[in-house]
Amino acid sequence: MSLKRLHPGKRMSQGVVRGDIVFLAGQVAETKGGAPVAEQTKEVLGQIDKLLAEAGTDKTKIMMATIYLADIKTFAEMNSAWDAWVPQGATPARATVEAKLAAPEYKVEVVIVAAI
């Protein structure tokens, strides 16, 4: 079974499709770095929508989401953006953890595994 790489780079691809599953790399705010976590989350979710569409799927087929927050105190703020985005009845399995992210301006990072 072949692999399709989405936006491959020197160190990573933004996504990898194998068979009927797409694995997205951790998505962070590209333009809203330093913004409040709700704004960053909205941007990240928009990026996820675009990558899923490119892979031939959408957010209704997300199986697993892993969310990293630089500060767990922003959990409710992140959830406000998440809840407005995720389709009711199609909520994925999910884990949310506090972690030091790659750069201080990043407040949220989301990793997705979805069916196609």
Domains of the chain, start order: 3-115 (3.30.1330.40)
**Structure-token pair, residue 16:** 């990898």
Question: Is the confidence at residue 1, as pLDDT, over 90?
Answer: no
pLDDT band at 80 (very low <50, low <70, confident <90, very high): very high
**Structure-token pair, residue 97:** 């953890």
Q: What is the mean pLDDT of residues 87-106?
A: 97
Average pLDDT of the chain is 97
Q: What is the pLDDT of residue 33?
A: 85
Residue 66, beta-bridge partner list: 95, 111
Q: What is the pTM of this model?
A: 0.96
**Structure-token pair, residue 102:** 């790659």
Contacts of 18 (CB under 8 A, 6+ apart): 1, 2, 3, 4
Q: What is the mean pLDDT of residues 4-29?
A: 97
